[in-house]
């Protein structure tokens, strides 16, 4: 339904053309300095009308905090917030009324609810994500201050234009296709690993595409403009890294860290695919190469030599960088005429006008970051609950060495 999270809970409301969209964020730690600008920054990265690459629908998307914050500090109580829908123009969509738009949610919402919102695609609207971005910004503020956690997402491909293989996630790296040759080590490129460790939002925002590599970004821009000019659309992928997450987050067995991440990411409109760490490529790399061997760092802490695991092992974070990739399909809303059927089955031609994104991935970047922040925050609080309880117990003296030696070592 419209609530996500257990200890850090986000509930959103709002459709494309109603009075406002908003969210209630429950479980935020008290005592966090929080200004509207903390939230606005990410909302502005998400909002439409930022550039030629996005929809001309132009909304300021100003956040109004209703509760839970006083004198710029969170109270620990639910934070209510909303963004008004200023630019409703409900008549943009009237011509489509006889047709369920192909690959849009018109048909399925009608099947589900038996009633059709006159105003666009209801809850499947991208405007619904405003509440998530706001919630994520709050989570992120906490995570940064308390743990130094950094979350950076970037566009890794648009259509068939992708980052050079040295900078690409494992699954975008070409390998020899000889099924008897196991040599795929290059798939985890050192440059990519370095990119994960160093990339900042400033790097990402240097280019309108939010791809951090200029030459690729330029080709992506061309690809998007080609789609725009053809009244067509194109998809892409977003890669995201989360740095400095403490080890131990993630709840076996159903709420593994990657399972919650996948849930969160596939709940973003237009997503079709998710992979973490080595992803699909990891299915091709023999265990002997794919295993991330341990080594002690200068402080004696165990680290992994490689990071095929993407910072998660057995569903629990291991302290390494968490990285994952999400596939966004080409937007369903295009201005080309489409041969399709009306609700009553009559075949016809649907010609949609309106303001559409030819490609959503540049604007999806802050949404991915937000959902990542929400997942980390919720998992962190759940782990806190148990770990802080365990700390109060006396040490166990009766366990066999095989169960305590490791503990002593720490």
Which residues are identified as catalytic? 17, 104, 357
Q: If we measure between CA atoms, which residue out of 83, 82, 80 comes closest to residue 26?
A: 80
Q: Say how many C-beta atoms besides its own lie within 10 A of residue 69's C-beta.
A: 21
- Per CB under 8 A, contacts with a second copy among 192-211 are none
CA torsion, ordered 35, 38, 40, 44, to nearest 10 deg: 160
Dihedrals φ, ψ of 226, to 5°? Answer: -65, -45
Q: Which is nearer to a second copy, 204 or 377 (CB)?
A: 377
Binding mask 43-82 for a second copy (x = CB under 8 A): ---------------------xxxxx-xxxx-xxxxxx-x
On the CB side of 48, CA atoms within 13 Å amount to 21
Q: Stretches 35-43, 54-62, 196-204, 340-348: which one binds a second copy (CB under 8 A)? A: 340-348
Q: Say how many C-beta atoms besides its own lie within 10 A of residue 315's C-beta.
A: 17
How far is it, in rounded angstroms, from Cα 297 to Cα 247?
15
Q: Are 216 and 188 contacting, i.e. CB atoms less than 8 angstroms apart?
A: no
Q: Which is nearer to a second copy, 202 or 406 (CB)?
A: 406
Q: Stretches 39-47, 51-59, 114-122, 188-196: which one binds a second copy (CB under 8 A)? A: 114-122
CB of 226 to a second copy, least distance (A): 8
CB of 36 to a second copy, least distance (A): 12
Q: Which is nearer to a second copy, 116 or 206 (CB)?
A: 116
Q: Which is nearer to a second copy, 89 or 198 (CB)?
A: 89
CB of 116 to a second copy, least distance (A): 5
Interacting residue with a second copy among 318, 323, 363, 365 (CB under 8 A):
318
91 is a site residue for a second copy (CB under 8 A): no
Alpha helix (H) residue ranges in 184-301: 190-198, 201-205, 214-229, 257-266, 287-290
Q: Stretches 54-62, 190-198, 200-208, 295-303: which one binds a second copy (CB under 8 A)? A: 295-303
Q: Stretches 47-55, 144-152, 191-199, 203-211: which one binds a second copy (CB under 8 A)? A: 144-152
- Per CB under 8 A, contacts with a second copy among 213-252 are 219, 223, 226-227, 230, 232-237, 247-252
Q: Are 57 and 126 contacting, i.e. CB atoms less than 8 angstroms apart?
A: no
- Per CB under 8 A, contacts with a second copy among 262-291 are 262-267, 269, 271-280, 282-288, 290-291
CB of 390 to a second copy, least distance (A): 4
- Per CB under 8 A, contacts with a second copy among 151-170 are 157, 159-161
How far is it, in rounded angstroms, from Cα 45 to Cα 97?
31
For the chain, count helices (H), then strands (E).
10, 18
**Site residue total, a second copy (CB under 8 A):** 200
Interacting residue with a second copy among 45, 189, 217, 308 (CB under 8 A):
308
Q: Are 355 and 56 contacting, i.e. CB atoms less than 8 angstroms apart?
A: yes
**C-alpha angle with apex 137: 131 to 142, nearest 5 degrees?**
135
136 is a site residue for a second copy (CB under 8 A): no
116 is a site residue for a second copy (CB under 8 A): yes
CB of 199 to a second copy, least distance (A): 21
b/e map 75-102, b = 16+ CB within 10 Å: eeebbbbbbbbeeeeeebbeebeebbbb
């Amino acid at each position: 339904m419209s609530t996500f999270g257990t200890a850090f809970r986000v509930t959103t409301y709002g459709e494309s053309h109603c009075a406002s969209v908003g969210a209630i964020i429950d479980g935020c730690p008290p005592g966090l300095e929080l200004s509207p600008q903390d939230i606005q920054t990410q909302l502005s990265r998400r909002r439409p009308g930022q550039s030629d690459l996005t929809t001309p629908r132009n909304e300021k998307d100003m956040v109004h905090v209703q509760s839970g914050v006083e004198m710029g500090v969170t109270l620990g109580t639910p934070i209510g917030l909303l963004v008004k829908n200023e630019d409703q123009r409900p008549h943009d969509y009237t011509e489509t009324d006889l047709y369920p738009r192909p690959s849009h949610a018109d048909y399925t919402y009608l099947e589900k609810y038996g009633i059709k919102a006159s105003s666009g695609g209801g809850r499947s609207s991208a405007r619904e994500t405003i509440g998530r971005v706001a919630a994520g910004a709050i989570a992120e503020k906490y995570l940064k201050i308390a743990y130094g956690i950094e979350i950076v997402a970037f566009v890794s491909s648009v259509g068939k234009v992708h980052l050079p293989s040295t900078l690409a996630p494992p699954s975008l790296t070409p390998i020899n296709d000889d099924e008897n040759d196991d040599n795929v080590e290059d798939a985890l490129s050192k440059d990519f690993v370095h990119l994960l460790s160093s990339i900042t939002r400033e790097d990402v925002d240097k280019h309108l595409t939010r791809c951090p590599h200029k030459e690729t970004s330029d080709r992506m821009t061309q690809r998007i403009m080609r789609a725009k000019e053809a009244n067509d659309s194109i998809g892409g992928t977003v890669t995201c890294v989360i740095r400095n997450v403490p080890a131990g987050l993630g709840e076996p067995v159903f709420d593994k860290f990657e399972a919650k991440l996948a849930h969160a990411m596939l709940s973003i409109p237009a997503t079709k695919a998710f992979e973490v760490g080595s992803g699909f490529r990891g299915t091709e790399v023999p265990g002997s190469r794919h295993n991330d061997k341990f080594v002690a760092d200068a402080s004696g802490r165990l680290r992994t030599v490689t990071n095929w695991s993407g910072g998660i092992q057995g569903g629990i974070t291991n302290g390494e960088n968490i990285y994952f990739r999400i596939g966004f399909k080409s937007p369903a809303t295009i201005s080309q005429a489409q041969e399709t059927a009306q609700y009553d089955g009559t075949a016809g031609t649907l010609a949609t006008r309106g303001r559409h994104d030819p490609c959503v991935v540049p604007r999806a970047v802050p949404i991915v970051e937000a959902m990542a922040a929400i997942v980390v925050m919720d998992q962190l609080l759940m782990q806190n609950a148990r770990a802080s309880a365990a700390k109060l117990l006396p040490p166990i003296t009766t366990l066999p060495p095989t169960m305590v030696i490791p503990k002593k070592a720490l």
